Chains A and B, each alone.
Chain A
Amino acid sequence: MTRRVRPLPVILGVVLGLAAAAVVLPMLDGRGGPPGLHAGPLLSDCDGRLRDLVIHHVPESADITAGVYDGLLRHLPADVTVHVVCADAAAFDDLAGRAGTVQCTLAPVVVGHPITTWSRDRWLALESAQPGGPTVLLAPRGEDGADAWPERRGDERVAADLAAALGRSVTAARSDLYFDGGDFVADNETVFVTPAVLRRNLQRTVETREELIEHLSAALGRRVVLLDEAPDHHAGMFMMPVGDRTVLVGDPAAGLRLMDPEGDGAADALLPPEGADTSAETQRRFDAVARQCHEEGYRVVRIPMAPGRDGRTYLTHVNVILDGRDGRRVVTMPVFRGADALNDAAERTWRNLGWEVRRVDCTACYPHFGSLRCLVNVLRRG
């Protein structure tokens, strides 16, 4: 005996199913995470009060980081939590012992695998889509050098480690795109992206520049300005949005005038191994960033800076952590021993923009191609 299939319930069911899918599909925004994952825009660098920071502590690298962390942690108020990613519990104890008494809360995230000390590049923090929702940590498709560098391979897992450790308040997703977190700086309107992101993705993950911008705009929820030309470094090494549609951009010529007023190569000693980069080409790239920001409707303020000829070692005062609280705007700014004139000029620039300046000595870390913001990632602002 065969059962006859009546067509009406089948047609009705299919129509209902398609209608339901049409309602649900727009909610699956496909922003670099598993279907159903909701996220708000990329966290601004210059708006809101700091709530949760993430640093990595590797005792073997403490010569580089200890002074920076000491300076940072001393400045942080009691309502800030610093999540310390460590390979093991002993590493956290090492940091806690070095930090001594601080007002902020130090919380261990023990991951059980090797990591580098550089927290910033591992993920981008996307605000929660609705009040009380989770922050989304968007990790890149892969890390440069992970094949041959066990610590960098471990870095690829840190976003997931944090999500596992911090419960429902944080989720993690992996983007389709290759990037470093340091390739981006943002305010509450625009995210500025380095040309390196285009180089790493063109004809690998996207066909065209336009396709990359489309992907980034969807993933980051902000207007994307992909820099046409820029120094070959992370964005946070040469520029920083500071609010009020204003952006600080480095000026190597001004930096050199301060560090080497006699023109006798005095700056070279502070920029090993190849000395200061005084080339017209490098100056042109910094100027190109300033020009593009201006064309995008931003007020551009230049800040003296000293890049090295190796293309990586920078004396930069825009690699900062910004905090707005109780009507005050506070910048925690790196300073470098032996570069007093540059430090003082940078501090004046920040003060003129209405920021209260707290200095952190980054002398030990800048020869390793990064500074304060490179070591510290911001997970949440209030």
Chain B
Amino acid sequence: MQRFKGILTVLGIAAGTMAVALALLAPGSAGAVGQGALTPLIAQPTLKVGECTFTLESAEPTDGKMQLRVKAANPTDKPLDVSAWLRLSASQKTPPHSRMMLPPRQVWAEKCVAGLDAGETKTFTFTPVPESAGQGPMIATLSDGNSAAFTVSLSTLQRVARQVQTAQVGR
């Protein structure tokens, strides 16, 4: 009887250990398909140009005008000259039966050129005036002018900015 209890104890501990290990280590964070769409995993996108990092920080409207801030950071111990393009595109109205959205049209662009000392961070502030009013959500693209780029909707940027502000107020 004592031996049977001992075996049960070992098996119980083994089952518990296995359950904890699987819960912690099992891959695949995707959920069942029935749940709603998920939000992006990376809240605040960054672009690496060479050794420099550009962060698109905020798109909070000021005095009714849209404002974008790009932070350029040089984490190295030597000075760097880098540049990146910030572009705004406007979604176009999509006909009701369409398979996909029309490609967004670029309505504003400006180049951020930064000469950064070792360890220096600079912030660029833009108040873009788009060439034409968009028919749908606006999309910001930060790119190195070649292949590296990311796109993010302004509404997402604004949501992130509000979350950052809330977190700072809460501190």
Which B residues are CB-close (under 8 A) to A146? 37
Whether, in the assembled complex, B30 has its beta carbon less than 8 Å from a beta carbon of chain A, the answer is yes
Which A residues are CB-close (under 8 A) to B15? 17
Whether, in the assembled complex, B16 has its beta carbon less than 8 Å from a beta carbon of chain A, the answer is yes
Task: Of the listed stretches B38-46, B126-134, B162-170, name the one at the interface; the rest are far from the partner chain.
Answer: B38-46
Given contacts A9-B13, A176-B30, contact A25 B97 (CB under 8 A): no
Task: Of the listed stretches B60-68, B71-79, B108-116, B147-155, name the one at the interface; the rest are far from the partner chain.
Answer: B147-155
Q: Which bucket holds chain A's interface residue count?
A: 35 or more
Which B residues are CB-close (under 8 A) to A353? none
Given contacts A25-B22, A204-B41, A368-B99, contact A199 B32 (CB under 8 A): no
Q: Which residue of B lies closest to A144 (CB)?
A: B101
Which B residues are CB-close (under 8 A) to A80? none
Which A residues are CB-close (under 8 A) to B100? 121, 144, 180, 182, 234, 312, 369-370
Whether, in the assembled complex, B118 has its beta carbon less than 8 Å from a beta carbon of chain A, the answer is no
Distance in angstroms between the alpha carbons of A180 and B33 in the assembled complex: 15
Which B residues are CB-close (under 8 A) to A17? 13-21
Number of B positions contacting A (CB below 8 A): 50
Task: Of the listed stretches A27-35, A89-97, A103-111, A339-347, name the one at the interface; the rest are far from the partner chain.
Answer: A27-35
Cβ of B14 and Cβ of A13 under 8 Å apart? yes
Given contacts A17-B14, A30-B26, A33-B30, contact A143 B97 (CB under 8 A): no
Cβ of B17 and Cβ of A21 under 8 Å apart? yes
Cβ of B11 and Cβ of A13 under 8 Å apart? yes
Distance in angstroms between the alpha carbons of A182 and B27 in the assembled complex: 27
Q: Which residue of A lies closest to B92 (CB)?
A: A310
Cβ of B45 and Cβ of A13 under 8 Å apart? no
Cβ of B42 and Cβ of A13 under 8 Å apart? no
Cβ of A29 and Cβ of B151 under 8 Å apart? no
Q: Which residue of B lies closest to A123 (CB)?
A: B33
Whether, in the assembled complex, A141 has its beta carbon less than 8 Å from a beta carbon of chain B, the answer is yes
Cβ of B33 and Cβ of A203 under 8 Å apart? no
Which B residues are CB-close (under 8 A) to A33? 28, 30
| Shortest distance between the CB of B75 and any CB in chain A (Å) | 16
Given contacts A17-B15, A33-B30, contact A203 B37 (CB under 8 A): no
Distance in angstroms between the alpha carbons of A98 and B37 in the assembled complex: 34
Cβ of A368 and Cβ of B97 under 8 Å apart? yes
| Shortest distance between the CB of B135 and any CB in chain A (Å) | 12
Given contacts A117-B97, A369-B99, contact A156 B36 (CB under 8 A): yes
Q: Which residue of A lies closest to B150 (CB)?
A: A203
